[in-house]
Structure formats: C-alpha cells, structure tokens
Structure 1
Amino acid sequence: MNIRLQLIILLVLAIGGLAFLNWEALTAVSTVSFGFTETQAPLGLILLSLMAILGVFFLAYILWLKGTVILDYHRHTKELKHQRELADKAEASRFTELREFLLQQHKEGQEVLLNKIDDLEERLRHRADDSDNSTAAYLGQIEDQLRQVPSAPQLEMRPNVTNKNDLW
C-alpha cells in the first residue's frame, strides 16, 4: 500500500474511534440553526452524516475520474496501435518501393554493361578483321614481289676475310 492510502485509512479509523468513544456527545440534542430556521437535533450526528456523504461523493468522483482515465487510456492505446500499424505498412511499402527501385537500377546497369560489352566485342571483331585484312594484304604484296623478282643465282654474302683481325 502506498502512503496516501495508509493515511486515509488511519484518518477514517481515527474518526470512527472518536465517534464510537463520544457517541453520547454526538447524539446529544441541541439547538441547530440552518440560517432561516432553528431546530432541535443532534449536531454531532448531523456533522458526522454530512462528512460521510462528502466522503461518498469524493469516492464516487475518484471512481468516475479513474474510469474516464482508463477509457482514455484504452482509446489512446487503440489509436496508437492503429498509428503503429499504419507506420509499419508505410515502412513496408517504402521497403518494397526501394527494392523495386534497386532492381530497376540493377537491371538498367546490367543493360548498359551488356551494351558496352557488345560494342567492345563489335570493335574487337572489326579490329581483328582489319588486322587479318592488313596481314593478308602485306602477305599478298610480299608474294607479288617475290613473283616479280627474276630468279637470279643466289650469291653468297660472306665477308672476304683474309685475316681474323681485319674483321672489324
């Protein structure tokens, strides 16, 4: 129990104990004035009854206040749960959009890369064809030159060395 509840219970027990011990004084008849009239009644009993009614009203007010707080809490909890679900759905939607965007970017990047590779292959093929054609043309020229040269006796081209030291 918290300290407030203990103090309230102690106060109620003290009032009950005083009322029990002084019951004769509380029930003693005296003249009581209500402002517009006077009557003979036990003043202590009237005050004790008014205090009990006030206590009941405070208790009812506290219970009503606690009930409204609980209802507000449940309403806020439902609203918060709904907002959390909306946020989760929005986040999932953003992840889905991001995934689709990344897949699209990946696909576009692949297409660009494949196009570049195709261009490079085409250029390489053209260069290989050009190189083959150039080599064939050079070989054709050499063959033509060899065919046009009359067959002449082959001369031996050795240096005329009489002395080994004269070589250089």
Structure 2
Amino acid sequence: MSGRTFFALLFLLLLFLFAWLNWGEIAKPTPLSLGLTRVEAPLGLVLVVALAVVSLLYLIFTIGLETAALLEVRRYARELLHYKKLAEDAEQSRYTELRRFLEAELGRLAESEKEEIRALEAQLEEMLEKHSNTLAAYIGELEDQILRLFRSEEQKGGGAG
C-alpha cells in the first residue's frame, strides 16, 4: 500500500470518527438553499457525505492509477523479457554462425594439409625413384667393374697356367 492510499484511508477513518462523535449536531436539520429552491436538511450530514464521496473518489482514482502503473510495469517486464530473448537468440545465432565458419575453415585447412601431404609423398616417391635408379645404375656399374675385374683375373690366371 502506498503512502497516499494509507493517508487517504486514515483521513476517511478520522472523518468517520469525527462524524460519530458529533452525530447529534451533524444530523440537526437546517434550512438549505439549492439556488432555485429551499430545503430542510442536515447541513453537517450533507457536507460529511460530500467529503466522503470526494475522498472515496480520490481513493478509487489512486487505486486505479496504481493498478495502471502496475499493469504498465508488467507490460514493460514482458517486453523486456521478449527483447532479452531476441538478444539471446541473436547471440546464439552468432555463435552458431561462428561455429560453422570455424568448422568450414578447419575442414579447408585439413583438406589443404592432406593435399600438401599427398604432394610431399609424390615428391618423396619421385626422389626415391630417382635415387633407386641412381643406386641401380651404380650397382650395375659396380657389377660391370667386378665382372671385368674377374675376367681380367681369369685371363691373367688362365694365361699363366
């Protein structure tokens, strides 16, 4: 309960107490002028009722204002939650997009690495083949030299013996 509502209720309570304590004087009939006519009515009662009606109207107006403010705060809270959800979704989609980008990049890097490995393997095979050919040529040359050496030894040994 707000301070205004509390003071309005306190004022109504004090007004009721005042009317109860002075009921005899308030209820005493008095001639009253209504502009075009005159009536006999208790002036105190008319004034107390008018004051009570105005006070009740003020109380109803205050409660209406507080209710409207509360409803507006709830609406703002719902909007805030909605915008928070939108922001979280946007952030999540950015994370998802970043993840996809990184996965694509890593996939490209892995494919590039595989291609480089294949190229290096091809170069290695080519170098091995060259070196094998060179080694085979050297072995062939050595065999030829060994065979010539054996032949020359046989000729030397065969001619002397």
Change over 3 Å in CA distance of 1:3–1:58 after alignment to 2: closer
- After superposing on structure 2, the runs of 4+ consecutive aligned residues of structure 1 that deviate more than 4 Å are 1-10, 29-34
Separation of aligned partners in 2, 1:67 and 1:9: 17
Identity %: 32
How far does the alpha carbon of each residue in 1:91-139 deviate from its partner, in whole angstroms, 9 at most, with x for none? Answer: 3322321221122012101101101110111111112111111111111
Query: Which residue in the other structure is 1:117 paired with?
Result: 117
Aligned residue for 1:65, secondary structure, equals helix
Counterpart of 2:136?
A: 136
Superposition TM-score, scaled by structure 2 size: 0.74
Asked if the contact 2:30–2:43 (Cα under 8 Å) also holds between the matched residues in 1, the reply is: yes
Q: Which residue of 2 aligns with 1:49?
A: 49
Considering fraction of residues, name the structure with more helix: 2
TM-score by length of 1: 0.71
Report the alpha carbon displacement of residue 74 of structure 1 after superposing the two structures with TM: 3.5
Whole-Å Cα distance in 2 between the matches of residues 3 and 54 of structure 1?
Answer: 18
| 1:41, distance to aligned residue in structure 2 (A) | 5.3
Consecutive unaligned residues of structure 1, counting only runs of 5 or more, are 154-168
Report how many aligned residue pairs link the two structures. Answer: 152
Counterpart Cα distance in 1 of 2:140 and 2:71: 102
Whichever residue aligns with residue 102 of structure 2, its letter is: L
